[in-house]
Amino acid sequence: MDNKKSQQDIDMSTRRDFFRRTAALGITALGTTSIMASEDGHDSILKPTKWGTTWGDPVTKNLYGVPSKYEHNVTRRYTKLLASGNFRASIAVTPIQESKGIITPNGLFFSRSHGGVAHIDPNEHMLMISGLVKKPLVLTMKELMRYPSVTRTHFIECPANGGQEWRGPQYNSLQFAKGFMSCAEWTGVYIKDIIKDLGVDPKAIWMLAEGGDSSKMGRSIPMEKVLDDAMIVWGQNGENLRPEQGYPIRLLVPGWEGNLCVKWLRRLDFATDPWYCKEETSKYTVLKPTGKAIQHFYANEVNSTVVSPSPEIDWSDLKDGDTVEIEGLAWSGMGTITGVDLSFDGGKNYVEAKLKGLVLPKCWTRWSYVHTYKKGEELLLTSRAMDDAGYIQPTIDQETLVVGVEAVYHRNAVETWKVEKDGKITHVEVRSQLEQKPNGELVIEGKA
Amino acid sequence: MKKSNKNLLISISVAAAISLGLSACMGESPKSAEKTSNETKKSELKKAIDGGVTYSVSNGKFGTYYVNEDAHSGKINFGRKPTKAEYKEWNSDVMANGEGLPEGEGSVEDGEEVYEAKCVMCHGDFGSGGGGYPSLAKGNAYELQKTLKNQRIKPDTDGPVRVFGTYWPMASTLWWYIKDAMPHPQTGSLSDDEVYALVAYILNINEFEIDGEEVDDEYVLNREKFLKIKMPNANGFEPNITGPDAPKNIRAYYSNPANFGAQKVKPAERCMHDCQEKTVKVVYIKNGGISDFHPPLSDKRDLPKEKKDNANFDAAKAYADNCAMCHESGAAPARGDKDGWSGILEKGLDNVYAAAIKGTQAGMPAKGGSSLSDNEFKTVVNYLVGKK
């Protein structure tokens, strides 16, 4: 509803601008730019601008701010191929190509739901803690938010990020190839701080987290993670959660599958056995060539991508000899990023890139490399990250030989952008052709 | 309650050394050791159940974050005990051993009837799926379970069949999921007997046997028989998550990168030159790839286009996108079905508009689940009922 309102505001101000310009400047056609360059210089500098000579909006307008109307293309996007026909069990993905720093704005944070985005009245919503505890508990939202708060910056990644590209590249787009993730500063409470005094039975080695939306999405989480860093969060980037992120509360399981971060959370239950929820059996399991599937595959493994350039924002406007920054993101759900390497030949040879800004556990980390561009050069840009748990991103061959091409989830092999002669960027993969032995095992075809 | 992890305090450098053999480096390595930018000392890292590391608070700090340790003593408590009725209402989960599964029964025949009324519009005839909705069956589950080794590594090869009968480890999941989360537009609306009937029908189309008896068209399922279901792929999953040793098994599984396709290496020994297999090729997007993006990709900083007004609204397209799924599948009166509509229209067009916009008990979701405006949706209703 708020979005609709702000869209109307944009529409109205666009219309007003149109009338103002056509009336005052007598421009005949929209779309022809009024800004001209001449020998004297550029009109943007030589001529007064509309915004430099007339009133802006009063502060009473947009009391909750909205982005500049010129930013309307910076938006989440969806594809029908990743949706139920009614777009309620679907995903809208983050424009990583436009990301700044390590924080995703709340309006751009990727949105995934299983029964649509619920709109919960926080005055009515309750959290129940039950099962193998001596003192089961019901908390109102007001009571929950009185617990001592913790603020941490973590990414959340859908483990199907890149999951359409196991058999080859599909998307010529960073937004769709890697946008099933976002990163935010979260505020909430450690679950361990709430349950310390509840008398949890030592036999309770599992916790169920269940949502209160129409899908009742649930997941089983081992107690060890619950007692480590699992949180119930209500704050995101300095404000309360958006409905798309589970308002008023969601679970945050740092570094682990986004699906475990149950939105619209209403119940935590403790038991001796896992629940075999639908989203930890039929889905979010990784089928290997052996015919066996990995279940309870928790952590999003070490990963990285080149963000600039991208297929969306390429180098076609660069001149020969321009020095540019190649920039990217690295992240690991298993620890903290320790380094990133960059390859210009698709992963054959690497050089070390530099990390920039804050380097935090289970958090997006920015990296950078300065390159002098030769007009007409063809490059294969591949980044490769490492974390303090000792992992390094695998090649596509290394990963697929073990988990095959039917895994859907947890694809973290290196990614490659090809810089074409004209500076445009094409998404490619550098990999070998595989063949399957009768026992299911995969081997590289033609390897002596 | 705090778990003792003393035996797990293996420093990460040891872990990295153990896994050295997994490095696939084929060439030379960097000369100097990699500098770590992580402020946490390596000795403070604990190995986690997921194969990664965890961090702890020391001297009032958690890595770069400051912590007021007084606030985390566990002495702060709010809330109240749930009543028995409250607990019972929300405690709807059904566990693999049958805990939480109520008594009840339903036949395949009744299940088919409920399915045709409430499920077929999304899940298709005989659970075939389509339109982004999951398939429920593809044929004989015991035969199709054998396809799980299939890998589509070459064009025109068949993939693995992953539906309820062939793939899911437990039957309890199906009962619980249908009861709590189906039918999708109106969850929690089925009786226990209806759920038994639907489960019986889904077992039937997967060609199941229970206790040696075929789940044929005459079959009647109840709690006792349900608990005897043996899933064909019950042993198809790793690591072992049953019993009190589950955490140990999970930890052991993820401590071996070879189990899940990961690579470990000492930073100083990672491959920097000649790191690819000789057999690699550059693979490009085939057949245009996926480019059905909404809104279309653009990095332009321009003014948004004006929204189309109602006169340009395409009711036929909106109908096809939002309504045809039910109205053209027999679940609701179709466009041009004069007999079907005459009775409904007797209530007056305004009432039809109101019902369509708000949704109905019969299962029509509000505005067909679309995000159209009221006026736009009225245009769609006009198109559907044949009013100009």
A173 and A127 share one domain: yes
Chain A residues within an 8 Å CB radius of B45: 335, 388-389
Angstrom distance (rounded) from CA B81 to CA A51:
60
B272–A278 CB contact, under 8 Å = no
The most distant pair of C-alpha atoms in chain A lies apart, rounded to whole Å, by 82
Q: pLDDT tier at B367 (50, 70, 90 boundaries)?
A: confident
3-state SS of chain A is: CHHHHHHHHHHHHHHHHHHHHHHHHCCCCCCCCCCCEECCEEHHHHCCCHHHHCCCCCCCCCCCCCCCHHHCCCCCEECHHHECCCCCCEEEECCHHHCCCCCCCCCCCCEEECCCCCCCCCCCCEEEEEECECCCEEEEHHHHCCCCCEEEEEEEECCCCCCCCCCCCCCCCHHHHHCCEEEEEEEEEEHHHHHCCCCECCCCCEEEEEECCCCCCEEEEEHHHHCCCCEEEEEECCEECCHHHCCCCEEECCCECHHHCCCCEEEEEEECCCCCCHHHCCCCCEECCCCCEECCCCECCCEEEEEECCCCCCCCCCCCCCEEEEEEEEECCCCCEEEEEEECECCCCCEECEEECCCCCCCCEEEEEEEECCCCCCEEEEEEEEECCCEECCCHHHHHHHHCCCCCCCCCCCCEEEECCCCCEEEEEEECCEEECCCCCEEECCCC
**How large is the C-alpha radius of gyration of chain A?**
25
Chain B residues within an 8 Å CB radius of A256: 50
Q: Could you tell me which residue, B314 or B248, shows the higher pLDDT?
A: B248
Is the per-residue pLDDT at B228 higher than 90? yes
The confidence score (pLDDT) of residue A448 equals 67
The confidence score (pLDDT) of residue B245 equals 98
The confidence score (pLDDT) of residue B32 equals 42
Selection from A429, A343, A323 nearest residue A384 by Cα: A343
Q: How many residues does chain B have?
A: 388
A126 and A96 share one domain: yes
The sign of the dihedral angle between the CA atoms of B94, B95, B96, B102 is negative
Is the per-residue pLDDT at B360 higher than 90? no
A275–B95 CB contact, under 8 Å = yes
- Least Cα separation, residue A48 to chain B (angstroms): 20
Angstrom distance (rounded) from CA B185 to CA B366:
9
Beta strand pairing call for B209-210 and A250-252: unpaired
- Cβ(A76)–Cβ(A110) below 8 Å: yes
Angstrom distance (rounded) from CA A58 to CA A62:
9
B50–A352 CB contact, under 8 Å = no
A121 and A183 share one domain: yes
Question: Which CATH architecture best describes the domain B92-226?
Answer: Orthogonal Bundle (1.10)
In this complex, how many residue pairs, one in chain A and one in chain B, have their CB atoms less than 8 Å apart?
A: 445
ipTM: 0.91
- Least Cα separation, residue B377 to chain A (angstroms): 15
Segments making up each domain of chain B, as ranges: 1-81+255-273, 92-226, 314-385
Cβ atoms within 10 A of the Cβ of B139, count? 15
Angstrom distance (rounded) from CA B264 to CA A391:
4
- Least Cα separation, residue B49 to chain A (angstroms): 7
Selection from B24, B121, B138, B125 nearest residue B365 by Cα: B121
A98 and A216 share one domain: yes
Where does a domain end: A249, A284, A319?
Answer: A284
Angstrom distance (rounded) from CA B7 to CA A140:
39
Q: pLDDT tier at B31 (50, 70, 90 boundaries)?
A: very low
Q: How far is C-alpha A281 from the chain's CA centre?
A: 23
A224–B1 CB contact, under 8 Å = no
Chain A residues within an 8 Å CB radius of B282: 346, 380, 416, 418, 428-430
In a domain, A414, yes or no: yes
Decide: residue A350, CB within 10 A, 0-12 exposed, 13-18 middle, 19+ buried.
Answer: buried
- Least Cα separation, residue B373 to chain A (angstroms): 11
Q: pLDDT tier at B17 (50, 70, 90 boundaries)?
A: very low
At B272, list the tokens. 């920097």
Q: Which of B182, B265, B276, B374 to mutate to test the interface with A (most CBs of A within 10 A)?
A: B276
Helices B338-345 and B349-358 pack at an angle, to 10 degrees, of 100
CATH of the domain at A341: 2.60.40.650
Where does a domain end: A284, A313, A338?
Answer: A284
Backbone angles phi, psi at A358, to 5 degrees: -70, 140
Which tens digits make up the pLDDT trace of A416-429?
A: 999 999 999 999 99
A214 and A271 share one domain: yes
Q: Could you tell me which residue, B383 or B83, shows the higher pLDDT?
A: B83
Angstrom distance (rounded) from CA A170 to CA B285:
5
Which tens digits make up the pLDDT trace of B97-133?
A: 999 999 999 999 999 999 999 999 999 999 999 888 9
What distances in angstroms separate CA A233 from CA A184, A316, B123, B133, B196, one per listed residue? 11, 43, 35, 31, 37
In a domain, A430, yes or no: yes
A240 and A374 share one domain: no
DSSP code per residue over B56-111: --BTTEETTEE--GGGGSS-----BPPPHHHHHHH-----TTSTTPPP-EEEHHHH
- Cβ(B158)–Cβ(B150) below 8 Å: yes
At B240, list the tokens. 């072992």
A311 and A277 share one domain: no
Nearest to B12 among A71, A222, A388 (CB): A388
The confidence score (pLDDT) of residue A107 equals 98
- Using DSSP's 3-state secondary structure scheme, residue B269 falls into helix
Which tens digits make up the pLDDT trace of B264-278?
A: 999 999 999 999 999
The confidence score (pLDDT) of residue A35 equals 56
- Least Cα separation, residue B339 to chain A (angstroms): 28
Angstrom distance (rounded) from CA A134 to CA A270:
11
Q: pLDDT tier at B311 (50, 70, 90 boundaries)?
A: low
The confidence score (pLDDT) of residue A86 equals 80
Beta strand pairing call for B237-238 and A293-294: parallel
The amino acid occupying position B123 is H
A215 and A319 share one domain: no
Which position has the token pair 């209806």? B194
What distances in angstroms separate CA B277 from CA A109, A222, A447, B115, one per listed residue? 37, 38, 9, 52
Is the per-residue pLDDT at B88 higher than 50? yes
Selection from B65, B66, B63, B61 nearest residue B40 by Cα: B63
Angstrom distance (rounded) from CA B232 to CA B240:
17
- Cβ(B279)–Cβ(A433) below 8 Å: yes
Which tens digits make up the pLDDT trace of A123-146?
A: 999 999 999 999 999 999 999 999
Angstrom distance (rounded) from CA A400 to CA A402:
5
Cβ atoms within 10 A of the Cβ of B111, count? 26
B95–A276 CB contact, under 8 Å = yes
Q: Which of A86, A126, A155, A366 to mutate to test the interface with B (most CBs of B within 10 A)?
A: A86
Which tens digits make up the pLDDT trace of B159-212?
A: 999 999 999 999 999 999 999 999 998 999 999 999 999 999 999 999 999 999
Q: Which of B65, B150, B199, B237 to mutate to test the interface with A (most CBs of A within 10 A)?
A: B237
The confidence score (pLDDT) of residue B329 equals 67
Angstrom distance (rounded) from CA A90 to CA B383:
28
Between CA B7 and CA B10, with CA B8 as vertex, the angle to 5 degrees is 110
Where does a domain end: A255, A284, A313?
Answer: A284
The amino acid occupying position B386 is G
The amino acid occupying position A298 is Y
The amino acid occupying position B201 is Y
Is the per-residue pLDDT at B22 higher than 50? no
In a domain, A256, yes or no: yes
A78–B282 CB contact, under 8 Å = no
Contacts for A160 with CB less than 8 Å, ≥ 6 apart: A180, A408, A409
Contacts for B316 with CB less than 8 Å, ≥ 6 apart: B383
B279–A432 CB contact, under 8 Å = yes
Contacts for B81 with CB less than 8 Å, ≥ 6 apart: A135, A136, A137, A138
- Cβ(A321)–Cβ(A374) below 8 Å: yes
Which tens digits make up the pLDDT trace of B43-81?
A: 468 899 999 999 999 999 999 999 999 999 878 899 999
The confidence score (pLDDT) of residue A87 equals 87
Domain total for chain A?
A: 2
The amino acid occupying position A253 is V
Angstrom distance (rounded) from CA B84 to CA B90:
10
Q: Residue A431 sits in which domain range?
A: 303-444
Q: How far is C-alpha A103 from the chain's CA centre?
A: 10
- The reply to whether omega before B295 is within 30° of 0 (cis) is yes
Q: Topology of B314-385 in CATH?
A: Cytochrome Bc1 Complex; Chain D, domain 2 (1.10.760)
The confidence score (pLDDT) of residue A403 equals 98
A256 and A382 share one domain: no
Is the per-residue pLDDT at B85 higher than 70? yes
- Least Cα separation, residue A380 to chain B (angstroms): 9
The most distant pair of C-alpha atoms in chain B lies apart, rounded to whole Å, by 85
In a domain, A84, yes or no: no
Q: How far is C-alpha A19 from the chain's CA centre?
A: 40
A199 and A245 share one domain: yes
The confidence score (pLDDT) of residue B161 equals 98
Chain B residues within an 8 Å CB radius of A222: 49, 246-247, 250
The confidence score (pLDDT) of residue A5 equals 47
Q: Could you tell me which residue, B193 or B357, shows the higher pLDDT?
A: B193
Percent of chain B clearing pLDDT 90 (strictly above): 63
In a domain, A68, yes or no: no
In a domain, A384, yes or no: yes
Selection from A415, A408, A410 nearest residue A431 by Cα: A415
How do the pLDDT tens digits run along chain A, 448 residues long? 444 444 444 444 444 444 444 444 444 444 444 456 788 999 999 999 999 999 999 999 999 999 999 999 999 999 988 887 788 899 999 999 999 999 999 999 999 999 999 999 999 999 999 999 999 999 999 999 999 999 999 999 999 999 999 999 999 999 999 999 999 999 999 999 999 999 999 999 999 999 999 999 999 999 999 999 999 999 999 999 999 999 999 999 999 999 999 999 999 999 999 999 999 999 999 999 999 999 999 999 999 999 999 999 999 999 999 999 999 999 999 999 999 999 999 999 999 999 999 999 999 999 999 999 999 999 999 999 999 999 999 999 999 999 999 999 999 999 999 999 999 999 999 999 999 999 999 999 988 6
A246 and A328 share one domain: no
A401 and A336 share one domain: yes
